[in-house]
Structure 1
Amino acid sequence: MMRWKYGLGGVGLVLWSLLSGPVTADETTLAAEGVAHYTLALTWHPGFCQTQGNPPRECREPSLQAGADDGFVLHGLWPSLPERFADDGVTRQRWWEKGCFLERPRADGGFCRAHAPFDFEDSLDDALDRAMPGRASCLDRYEYAKHAACLSLPAEAYFDKALDLLELVNASAFVDYVMIHRGSEVPRNALIQAFEAAFGEGTGRALSLQCNGRGNRVLTEVRIGIDAERLDDFPQSSSLVPLRRGRCAPRVGISALSH
């Protein structure tokens, strides 16, 4: 099983693999039956915080924002509509809105009520703390309860894979481009072109840019479509699948953290 160590320097993350033995398929894949693709949702933390009317704890406390210095941070890894839900008449929109809460309704209250705390090994726990500032608001518990709990996806494997994918994105030339332009405004198409330059011609269709703020001009998130059977092949261009177009203005502001 992979374990993670996040370097403090540079724009990327440093993967540190300590293998106690041969890696098996079960340790590196997420086999969710009847799922065609995953959406890797990565937050641009400065833009997210800038556009929040009532910023959550992870936006107010600088100590929780270290992972943003590495590039994007983890929002979630979202399976597409599973076949068994589709066979029961659940629409894609309904699955997108409710996910696993269709089977086990979410408890009233905040994210912390969505699932019990996880008991991860220290290495995964520390890596997730850095890569997912939203854990301060129990985002990890909410994301797992909504997107993975009903699909027999073990929590440790689910977050291991999400961190693996995040590391690969943050190590890319695409994120280099975003980091270089922090605090400035760039054409939306330039972001798509930077993604294609990093991941392959035509892969821009797999990228969905999400913006918020007045006129949807502030970058808050990127979403990347990945074939469910080819998660281990990412970032090969053949592993990517098209997503719906995002919602950003022709020019996009890339916010910078104010330390």
Structure 2
Amino acid sequence: MSCRRPRCAGRPQQRVLMKNVFSCLISALALVGIAHAGELKPARHADFPRYTYALTWQPGFCSTGGGCLPGQSHEVKIGLHGLWASEPQSLIDQNVPVRQWWAQGCSSFPHVTMVPALPDALQQQLRQFMPQLQDDLQLHEYVKHAQCFGFPAQQFFATALSMRQAAADSGFGHYLLEQAGQTRSREDLQDAFAKTFGTDQRRSLQLQCGKDAQGRNVLTQFWFTLQADKLAAFPAAESFVNTPDGEYEDSCAQPFLLPDW
């Protein structure tokens, strides 16, 4: 993000100038946060082994279910859904089923719901890259998947955005963009994934599909299972790990379309 002269210099009035300078400072701080995003560490309940990092294929995601709001950006195809910790060992020791953990998330622990306070620049980035839904996805992701771990909200979302950019800029991201408008199979995407990242952990990649208004089977999301202690290495090969059988949720058994906007 650059602070172009019209925005940052503004008119000569002192109050306007200070407001613009402050806005640019916040933008710069947000970018600094993204640059060091890999250092994300949970302050509580850190006894979990994996993350699921969820990205969306925006044209497919927004064409299924309730769809996205009218103001949804059509400039982005690879979007951000969330970053989800696997079930903490403390809950496993209490015999809490993994499906219950995925359904309840942070409500599994006593907590007070925290609304994340984020700089305007970071919120703008999230609006650009996250699906814009009737229910605030940004708030949902923090309340369900982040607050009980004590992740600072700004660092949590900056990490997720930084990882999205790394995925989109990778050979796998470029491959997906080249497939817009084409029909592919799970095996096609797994092959491209394994080749790009040099990994044999093919079941790290989980695909989500749904039906659009025309009844077509379309790609909506793609998820990566990552080792919790290798999050900062993403997308290096050592960060990926096969999804355990009890957690594997791939709904793209049939060939699917990667729709374009």
TM-score by length of 2: 0.77
Partner Cα separation in structure 2 for residue 156 and residue 136 of structure 1:
23
Gapped runs of 5+ residues in structure 2? 3-28
Equivalent position of 2:77 in the other structure: 71
Write out per-residue CA displacement over residues 233-255 of structure 1, whole angstroms, 9 at most, x where no aligned residue. 11111111112251113312101
Q: Distance in 2 between matches of 1:247 and 1:191?
A: 13
Per the TM alignment, residue 18 of structure 1 is displaced from its structure 2 partner at its CA by 5.3
Counterpart residue number, 1:131: 129
Q: Is the 8 A contact 1:199 1:235 kept in 2?
A: yes
Q: Is the 8 A contact 1:187 1:250 kept in 2?
A: yes
Within 1, Cα distance between the matches of 2:129 and 2:208?
19
Is residue 218 of structure 2 the alignment partner of residue 218 of structure 1?
Answer: yes
Taking only the aligned residue pairs, the percentage that are identical comes to 31
Structure showing greater Rg: 2
Unaligned 5+ segments in structure 1 are 6-15, 107-113
Aligned to 1:178: 176
1:8 aligns with: none
Tell me: CA distance 1:104–1:56, structure 2 relative to 1, closer, same or farther (3 Å). farther
Per-residue deviation, residues 1-56 of structure 1 (Å, max 9, x unmatched): xxx67xxxxxxxxxx98549x96xx972233510111000111111112222x324
Match of 2:138 in 1: 140
The 1:218–1:105 alpha-carbon spacing in structure 2 relative to 1, beyond 3 Å, is: farther
Corresponding residue of 1:231: 231
Q: 2:40 aligns with which of 16, 22, 29?
A: 29
TM-score using structure 1 length: 0.78
- Shift, 1:136, TM fit: 6.4
How far apart are residue 161 of structure 1 and its match? 0.9
Alignment of 1:75-224 (within 5 A): 75-103=81-109, 116=115, 118-134=116-132, 137-213=135-211, 217-224=217-224
On the 8 A contact 2:227/2:241 being kept in 1, the answer is yes
The number of residues matched between the two structures is 227
